[in-house]
Amino acid sequence: MNAQGFVCGPRLYQFKGWFFEWSACSGPWPLKINGDPRARAGRKFYAMCAEFNQLSEANKKLNRVGGGCQSF
């Protein structure tokens, strides 16, 4: 018998020079290039998030670079 499962995490995006995660639970947060969370998120980041949120789902998918649910 083969067992199958899923591991889920926040979706990862790159948009307008920002690398960030967007979690269904906690919302967006900027990340360092190595994937560690940044210490702060300021006005510029949240302004970019507002612009990103106006994109269609298809355009958001074009900017997605990882994360989400993965099967194993």
pLDDT tens for 2-48 read 778 888 999 999 999 999 999 988 999 999 999 999 999 999 999 99
**For 60-71, what is the mean pLDDT?**
91
Rounded CA separation 16/53 (Å)? 13
Global pTM? 0.86
Question: What does the buried/exposed string (b/e) look like for 25-54 if buried means 16 or more CB atoms within 10 Å of the residue's CB?
Answer: eeebbbbeeeeeeeeebeeeeeebbeebee
- pLDDT, residue 15, reads 97
Extract long-range pairs of 43-51: CB within 8 Å, 24+ residues apart: 45/18, 45/20, 48/15, 48/16, 48/18, 49/20, 51/16
